[in-house]
Amino acid sequence: SLARNHGDEPLIQARILRTIEDLPRAWELAREAGEAVDRHYWAEFEIFGRGEFELVNEAAAQLRRHGRFARALDLLAIYSHRSEVTLDSRLIVDLLNDLIDAEDPERGTLSQYDIAALLEYARNSGEIDTEVLGLLEWRYLPALDSSSSIPALQSLLASSPEFFVQIISYLYRRKGAESNDEKHPENLVRNAWTLLHRWEVVPGSTDRGGEVNEALLLEWVSTARRLLSEAGRLSVGEAHIGQVLAHSKADEEYWPTLPVRNLIENDSSETIDRNFMIGIANSRGIVSRGIGEGGEQERALAEKYEEYPALINDEWPRTARLLRTVAEEYRREAAEQDEDRKSTRLNS
């Protein structure tokens, strides 16, 4: 009744309603009091200090209704690490999409960590389709650092040759095209570069280091090549195909896995072969070396890549040849590191 006595001042009425501890009742009264009171109530709704808050999803939905997308996501992020509340994963996805498209003055309150945590929660729920998650990860890629997981986006790339060719087309010009042709927004170009350089899911599989379905792999590669040819980007596309094959799992002592060996043996190209070897080198990551260590690391890698060809040479000679070339390169690098160590000792 006190709130009703201030009907001429919606803000005061909303603030009085916010003192009511029975939140469902307060929300109901705010709606009944009219649009202005309801708007003021939710404009000042505080998400912090709620303790074991069972109405997280309901409050987030109300904040969404009033355009406070970032604040709603911030509230959900707070409770994404707590077991006492089950969050609405579909609401999380809807809010993340809302925030991308909206001018929300509270956008800055949502941290990179919060976005990554909410995406992870939606993934783990098992309720959201991989394609939906993948496209959402694509939209938020600039907001995620290199340590943030983007498994759905990588899986989407590995399952959809059409999406792969679209990403290639954002990053590379059509063969023979002038530099001013087919210009894409800078954010799309950056996203494409980041995604392709983080891609580690082999087509025909669903996750990094997963089992590869040979029929799906061959179908994906065949379709991708056809679309790349039509788009005038076959060579650059095949380069990335070759590099992702280097992230194949092993079959016990055999590497790469059988479907990848069969692809290289029967349906590869010079570009794929060359970039498969480049992918092996790149997968090593950043190298740290002790003072005076020499080429011990490279010798160990050379021995590793000499063992694989010995096991597969009879049935997969082309794959074996590529692996021997990798081993030879590591032998050469080992010799260079040994020479650098000798030079360092002589000059010290």
Position 82 scores a pLDDT of 85
Buried b (16+ CB within 10 A) or exposed e, 130-148: eeebbbbbbbbbeebeeeb
> Which residues, in sequence order, are bridge partners of residue 254?
251
Q: Among 346, 295, 297, 305, which residue's Cα sits nearest to residue 326? A: 305
**CB-side neighbour CA atoms (13 Å) of 10:** 15
Cβ atoms within 10 Å, residue 120 = 14
Query: Which region, left, alpha or beta, applies to residue 31 given φ > 0 means left and ψ of -120 to 50 means alpha?
Result: alpha
Q: Which residues contact 228 (CB under 8 A, 6 or more apart)?
A: 165, 168, 234, 237, 238
pTM for the structure as a whole = 0.84
What gap in Å lies between CA 272 and CA 245, rounded to an integer?
Answer: 9
Q: Which residues contact 38 (CB under 8 A, 6 or more apart)?
A: 14, 30, 31, 66
Position 226 scores a pLDDT of 98
The segments of the chain whose pLDDT lies below 50 read 1-2, 6
CA 64 to chain centre: 26
Position 145 scores a pLDDT of 80
**DSSP codes of every residue in 177-222:** --TTTT---HHHHHHHHHHHHH----TT-SSTT----HHHHHHHHH
What gap in Å lies between CA 61 and CA 182, rounded to an integer?
Answer: 41
Cβ atoms within 10 Å, residue 303 = 12
Position 216 scores a pLDDT of 98
Position 202 scores a pLDDT of 98
**DSSP codes of every residue in 36-56:** HHHHHHHHS---SS--S-TTH
**CB-based contact 99:70 (threshold 8 Å):** yes
Length of the chain in residues, anyone? Answer: 348
Position 9 scores a pLDDT of 87
Q: What are the distances in angstroms from CA 273 to CA 13, 94, 195, 206, 238? A: 71, 42, 21, 23, 9
Q: What are the distances in angstroms from CA 195 to CA 35, 126, 127? A: 44, 23, 24
Residue that is written with structure tokens 């987030």 in the block: 60
Bond preceding residue 256 cis, omega within 30 of 0: yes
Position 108 scores a pLDDT of 87
Position 1 scores a pLDDT of 47
Which backbone phi and psi does 251 adopt, to 5 degrees?
-105, 85
